[in-house]
Structure 1
Amino acid sequence: MTDKITRRGILAGAGAVLGSFALGRSAALAQSGETLKIGFVSPVSGPLAGFGQTDGYVLQQARAALAKGVTINGTGYSVEILDRDTQSDPARAGQLARELINSGGVDLMIAVSTPETINPVSDACEAAGVPCISTVMPWEAWYFGRGAKPGEESPFKYGFHFGFGVDEFFRAYVSQWELIGTNRKVGVMYPNDADGNAVRAILAPRLEAAGYTIVDPGAYETGTSDYSRQIRMFRDEGVEIFNTFPIPPDFAAFWRQAAQQGLHRQIKIVQVAKTGLFPSDVEALGGLGDNIASAAYWHRDFPYVSPATGLTGAELCDGYEAATGRQWTQQLGASLSAIDVGMAALSAVANPKDREAIAAALPGLKAESIAGPVDFSSGPVRNVAHGPIIGTQWQRNGNRFDYVITENATDTNVPVTGTLRPYN
């Protein structure tokens, strides 16, 4: 499978046809003066800035690959990507989306990373009738968190989300936690937000059914400064696995307090999500960051290639490190995969300037991406395509933390590269 995908990626870089679009066909461009406009909204600054840190580099690669335009079904178009920073503010995210729709005239919107960005952008697009593709948040928090009801027909026509969900977290966590002997007591700290409420309602019961004892002190508010009550409960209950879905500043505050109060000495697996995804999150913890377990929605070792740029994961990450001097992050491939899927959506219709046609085509879209295949026709609900979550761990290697793949239950094409270590 890897060889096939690699050959396809090489052809993409050469401007060969992928589905029904081709890169850099200047002869066809002479026949059309139209521009495809793609909005790209992500959190580049603020508390969620880790998610947007690499987006500038990703967009640079995408713009370079698309600089000579694309040919879609025999017609040439130039491509313009209009990126905006939400500053980690949901209200600003919605405002930016409306501006891109009303003033920017975008044909397609891309929203990347966390409910605080994706949900308000998706809502703005739904109201305006603009197709929107999003990734990097649990699909349940996107779908049910915006008003859809279990067992009922989808209320969304224009928004489509791909990536992991609670099922992927469950499979990855059970696979990961079985690698180390524990008492199977899991202390959970889920925030009172879209992510936390989704995982509390769906993930915790599944973990209990799988034989884990869940110790839950209840939802906490983002920005909480004192976690003594939660720490005392986890310590008294003897939990040996800790799982949380906070924003990075909240986890840093909690885990430092946990260390001061001795909780960290009894924990064998520290399994974090939404935080601990990027090197900066772990480095900020100093010695407390070693052996923090995480989960990757993308990794440089994923065996896939970006159709939009022709880049492999290793090429993307090596290029980023050479250009910036910073360690690669999993967001590189996630953001680029959204552009891959966006280009596939535009190429799935006769006229990519027709928003209604794009929205009508998306439920049946099957696309390749640097994060792997994306298939909206086989998702759990009409507007969603499944994606993997891979068990990982941050392991100190000299002056940096290596991001090691420790299990691959949700995508066995991804190679396991290391062994999970007990936290203490």
Structure 2
Amino acid sequence: MDGTNTEQKRLTRAAAPASAVPTVGVVVARTGRLARLGDPLAYAMDVLGPKLRGRLRLVARDSRSGAGGARQAVRELVEVEGARIVLTLAGTEVLPAVAGACEEAGVPCLSSAFPWQVYYYGGRRRRWTYHFCWGLDDIAETFADLWEASGGTERTVGCLWNDGPQGSWSRRDTHGFLPAARARGHRLVDPAGYREPAAALDGHVTAFREAGVDVVTSAATGADLGVFRREATARGLRPRLITCSRWLAYPPAPGTPAGQAPQANVATLVYWTPGHPYRSSLDGTTPAELAEGYERATGDQWLQPLGLAYALFEVAAHALATATDPTVPESVAAALGATRLETIAGLLDWTSGPEPHIATVRLAGGQWQRGRTHPYELVVVDSRRVEGLRADGELLPLGATDQMSTGG
């Protein structure tokens, strides 16, 4: 970054409206395909806005679920609203675009819900941007725990991976899923990546049958996983377990009939639930209270990103409160890098992360099982990697569709 551009950006920030309290900018999807995943961040902002009034000013802009909208949102938050820090959550295209725009603007950014290796190694080196999440290796370790707990002696796992960023990062020989799974003794069968949305996945079904696969792992969308499950059933491929991350970390879309939900008895990663043993550093809210409030206010089932969304504001408030001068970007960035904070999403520690600017989140193993309150509920079936978290159900065979979960 040359001196002229730096000075221009400094003058642009100075021209933004002054405020007696620091402004926190939020890039959140309110329109487009990611709008539903933007709901937790929007809800956390609505809840915390009144509580933080007088300490912080919260302002949001819509990413419109795309990279261009995300970059425009950052420009408006920085140049028009005078944001001292920008927050965002998830989105394969959106999150990198927000981080890149903040790097260009010289404004601290905090993000989450994106495997940290993809964030850290997938772009330029970071000066202004900070992140907290689990890693691709953490997903592999958690899934391997479930593969090995599902019974059987076969260690061959079929990989239903696309030809986009999710599949490309999963199959890398370094920094990710593949080496961690292999280190556990599993052989991965990875046919050519498919293009989303998938019209047919018969090639994967054939490859898995020929390899004797009875465990499948994926990062597919719900729609694509549904295509695979229907074709596998029609062709006589009946895996004992499917593990799936990404969209399958979320419940079925509202109104989906239980019998048609691709989540049915699919195992997934668990990073936050109402049962996690944490409290907010801002107001003492527990995960159970946050999830209950979300369901009461929205009428929708709670989503895992809700805890991460709340924690974004906790860390931002902490950094701005502990910065030597919250009006100076370098001071806010230094405060972020020195943060070690107990949050509603657990301990977030940037002082001992795997790489600079990274804090990690622990994972448990879960499974979507028939529920009592909702058609399908996420049941924690393996909590060994999260201290204080209780498992509230047993891992069921993939075909056990008539059992009710005991968890919530």
Q: Give structure 1 stretches of 5+ with no counterpart.
A: 1-31, 71-78, 148-154
1:353 aligned residue? 327
2:243 aligned residue? 271
Instruction: Work out the percentage of aligned pairs sharing the same amino acid.
Output: 30
**Deviation per residue, 1:34-84 (Å, 9 max, x gap):** 1211111133443333421333322111112213x23xxxxxxxx221223
8 A Cα contact 1:50 1:278, kept in partner: no
Query: Where in structure 2 are the equivalents of 1:254-269 lying within 5 Å?
Result: 254-263=228-237, 266-269=238-241
Query: Where in structure 2 are the equivalents of 1:315-334 lying within 5 Å?
Result: 315-334=289-308
**Aligned: 1:66 with 2:38:** no
From the superposition, tell whether residues 223 and 413 of structure 1 become closer, same or farther in structure 2 (CA, over 3 Å): same
2:107 aligned residue? 130
Query: Cα distance, 1:251 vs. partner?
Result: 3.0
Query: Cα distance, 1:102 vs. partner?
Result: 2.0
TM-score by length of 2: 0.86
Query: Cα distance, 1:302 vs. partner?
Result: 0.9
Greater Cα shift, 404-413 or 299-308: 404-413
Q: Distance in 2 between matches of 1:336 and 1:163?
A: 14
1:47 aligned residue? 33
- Amino acid of the structure 2 residue aligned with 1:322: R
**Aligned: 1:229 with 2:199:** no
From the superposition, tell whether residues 81 and 54 of structure 1 become closer, same or farther in structure 2 (CA, over 3 Å): same
Q: Distance in 2 between matches of 1:45 and 1:33?
A: 29
Q: Give structure 2 stretches of 5+ with no counterpart.
A: 1-17, 400-408
Query: Where in structure 2 are the equivalents of 1:171-210 lying within 5 Å?
Result: 171-182=141-152, 183-201=154-172, 202-210=176-184
Q: Distance in 1 between matches of 2:35 and 2:197?
A: 16
Query: Cα distance, 1:277 vs. partner?
Result: 1.8
From the superposition, tell whether residues 385 and 285 of structure 1 become closer, same or farther in structure 2 (CA, over 3 Å): farther
1:243 to 217, 222, 227: 217
**Aligned: 1:423 with 2:398:** yes
Q: Distance in 2 between matches of 1:416 and 1:384?
A: 28
1:94 aligned residue? 71
Q: Distance in 2 between matches of 1:383 and 1:186?
A: 33
**Aligned: 1:368 with 2:339:** no
1:217 to 187, 191, 205: 191
8 A Cα contact 1:172 1:408, kept in partner: no
**Aligned: 1:388 with 2:374:** no
SS at match of 1:35: coil
Query: Cα distance, 1:118 vs. partner?
Result: 1.0
Query: Cα distance, 1:335 vs. partner?
Result: 0.8
From the superposition, tell whether residues 260 and 40 of structure 1 become closer, same or farther in structure 2 (CA, over 3 Å): farther
2:5 aligned residue? none
2:385 to 385, 397, 410: 410
8 A Cα contact 1:52 1:331, kept in partner: no
**Deviation per residue, 1:203-262 (Å, 9 max, x gap):** 112212211110101223332322221122122322111111133443334334434444
After superposition, the CA RMSD in angstroms is 2.1
Q: Distance in 2 between matches of 1:188 and 1:59?
A: 37
1:401 to 358, 367, 376: 376
8 A Cα contact 2:271 2:362, kept in partner: yes
Q: How many residues align?
A: 375
1:17 aligned residue? none
8 A Cα contact 1:115 1:141, kept in partner: no
**Aligned: 1:109 with 2:86:** yes
From the superposition, tell whether residues 322 and 198 of structure 1 become closer, same or farther in structure 2 (CA, over 3 Å): same
SS at match of 1:178: helix
TM-score by length of 1: 0.83
